[in-house]
Amino acid sequence: MRSAALSATAVALAAALSLAGCGSDDERDAGTGSPAAGDGGFPRTVEHAMGSTEIPERPERVVVLDTGELDSVLSLGVTPVGAVTTAVSDGFLSYLADDAADVEVVGTISEPDLEAIAAVEPDLILSSKTRHEDLYEQLAQIAPTVFADQVGVVWKDNLRLDAEALGLEDEAEELIEAYEADAAALGQEIGDPAATTVSTMRFVEGGIRVYTAASFIGTVMADIGLDHLQLPTADDLPTFAELSAEELTRADADVILYSSYGPADDSGEAAVVAGPLWPLLTGVQQGRAHAVEDDVFYTGIGLRAATLQLDALRELLAG
């Protein structure tokens, strides 16, 4: 998906993985790929959305309960012992599947399996207040638990929080800086990104979600400098505007990036794309309506997903 040159983010990711991988076999847990306990900086107390948590030793057996946390720990070179899946898949997100091949499934995002979590004997659990506030006390009885406040638009802060719990703060900052430099470079390659309006559209259970600046993909659009289409949203749900198929033309833009949560026939995508309003969209007429991978652009959250979005957009918009 890229030119032969490595992106700054890819170079930084390789460096972070190398740093996280330093040490002899005796200093590491072969089952997790995580640094050994007893490294500098532990014990430590981490302040988070649910209060403060003491982490006595560098974690070696991490459980993650959302896609963003799975992306974060893998980006930092840590393979968790347990993770949840989404409601529409029995496996992990496609772009993380290879690195998570040996990770134990411990339920879904909406229904984590507490018994399965306890069975893998974690020494750290990562999730968010948005997802699992009602389970925090039970999770904290299993292992030290650190919760971000929100998900999506705050993904960089969540990566920093996860890194703090893991003792990998420097690696996280290096990765974020490299990603932001790569996004800015892509904006320069596009030429005048602010002159291109982009609509980020997702078909979900018959409805159309048009994502805003207050979403994960919105941060990527902003980092590149693109003009991201903004539609009015409900006060309690600023991440996206919900449209019916009949309102499709409200989502018109120079470029359309669309996907489905689940099969296109079930999500409503197939019917809309074959319908009478789709050809009226500017992006469709200009050949700039692009089906993108849902796992990367909408379901996934985190550094790896953001980096893969840059890769895809470099081909679509600057190629």
Q: Do 210 and 97 share a domain, yes or no?
A: no
In a domain? residue 221 = yes
For residue 227, the domain's CATH number is 3.40.50.1980
* pLDDT reported for residue 17: 45
Kindly state the average pLDDT of the residues 113-125. 99
Q: Do 58 and 135 share a domain, yes or no?
A: yes
Confidence of residue 39 (pLDDT cuts 50, 70, 90): low
Tell me how crowded residue 72 is: count the other CB atoms within 10 A of its CB: 30
What are the DSSP calls for 157-172, one per residue?
HHHHHHHHHHT-HHHH
How many CA atoms lie less than 13 Å away from 191 in the CB half-sphere?
5
Q: Which of 13-27, 73-87, 154-168, 282-296 has the lowest mean pLDDT?
A: 13-27
In a domain? residue 197 = yes
What are the DSSP calls for 286-319, one per residue?
TT-EEE--HIIIII--SHHHHHHHHHHHHHHHH-
Q: Do 158 and 243 share a domain, yes or no?
A: no
In a domain? residue 58 = yes
pLDDT in tens, 191-242: 999 999 999 999 999 999 999 999 999 999 999 999 999 999 998 899 999 9
Q: Do 154 and 202 share a domain, yes or no?
A: no
Q: Where are the beta strands (DSSP E) in the chain?
A: 44-48, 51-55, 62-64, 82-85, 104-108, 124-128, 145-148, 197-204, 207-211, 227-228, 240-243, 255-260, 289-291
208, 201 in Cβ contact below 8 A?
yes
Residue 114 predicted with pLDDT over 90: yes
User: Higher pLDDT residue, 17 or 85?
Assistant: 85
pLDDT in tens, 265-300: 999 999 999 999 999 999 999 999 999 999 999 999
* pLDDT reported for residue 40: 61
In a domain? residue 296 = yes
- What range defines the domain where residue 225 resides? 188-318
Q: Can you give the pTM of this predicted structure?
A: 0.86
* pLDDT reported for residue 235: 87
pLDDT in tens, 148-204: 999 999 999 999 999 999 999 999 999 999 999 999 999 999 999 999 999 999 999
Q: Do 51 and 81 share a domain, yes or no?
A: yes
Confidence of residue 35 (pLDDT cuts 50, 70, 90): very low
Q: Do 46 and 117 share a domain, yes or no?
A: yes
In a domain? residue 24 = no
Q: What is the average pLDDT value for the chain, to the nearest integer?
A: 90
Residue 11 predicted with pLDDT over 90: no
Residue 16 predicted with pLDDT over 70: no
